Amino acid sequence: MDSDFKHHTLTMDNCNFNFSLINYSALFKNCIEIVNKYQSNQNLALGEICRLLNEKIDFYDWVGFYFLNEDQKKLVLSSFSGKPTEHKEIPVGKGICGQVAKTSKSLIVSDVSKEKNYISCDIEVKSEIVVPIFVDSKNIGQIDIDSKKLNAFDENDENFLKQINDLISKNLF
């Protein structure tokens, strides 16, 4: 045991210090400023929030919003920041996004290679978080974040994204 520990190589890759390195409150304040500034332009506000999160949090490698088309039972990509994706539309139930559309529960997938119901947008992506957006208690869409880092997301990200979604729900809808 002891010798195993001594020979274990410590690199930043096997450390998980996301929480201590991110100032979620400062970023949330920036989101409030964006929403106040672009209140009359929902697309612009969402796009700016995507850009902010993608730029300021190094492991948020793709940030986007999908919204539900209830009649066609599919999610449609709205604003995003990161590599363009082919998956601009996702059927309810398919992939991580589609599962969240169906269950209305946030999903954190620490290793996408182990998730059977997964739609790959970029082979470099290793983990993903999807958090639903509720307007008057109705699930209308979601924020989706991909990371090239394995096991990138935890409950701090989930809480942070829930707050952002509440802010959006109350001010842009």
* Contact call for residue 61 and ligand SME (CB under 6 A): no
Among 47, 95, 132, 141, binds ligand SME (CB under 6 A): 95
Contact characters 115-134, ligand SME, x per CB under 6 A: ---xx-x------x------
Rounded alpha-carbon distances, angstroms, from residue 162 to 84, 98, 120, 130: 24, 18, 24, 10
Burial of 76 (0-12, 13-18, 19+ CB in 10 A): middle
* Per-residue x/- track, 142-161, ligand SME (CB under 6 A): --x-x---------------
Pattern 26-55, ligand SME, x by CB under 6 A: ------------------------------
> For binding to ligand SME (CB under 6 A), which residues are involved?
62, 64, 85, 87, 90, 95-98, 118-119, 121, 128, 144, 146
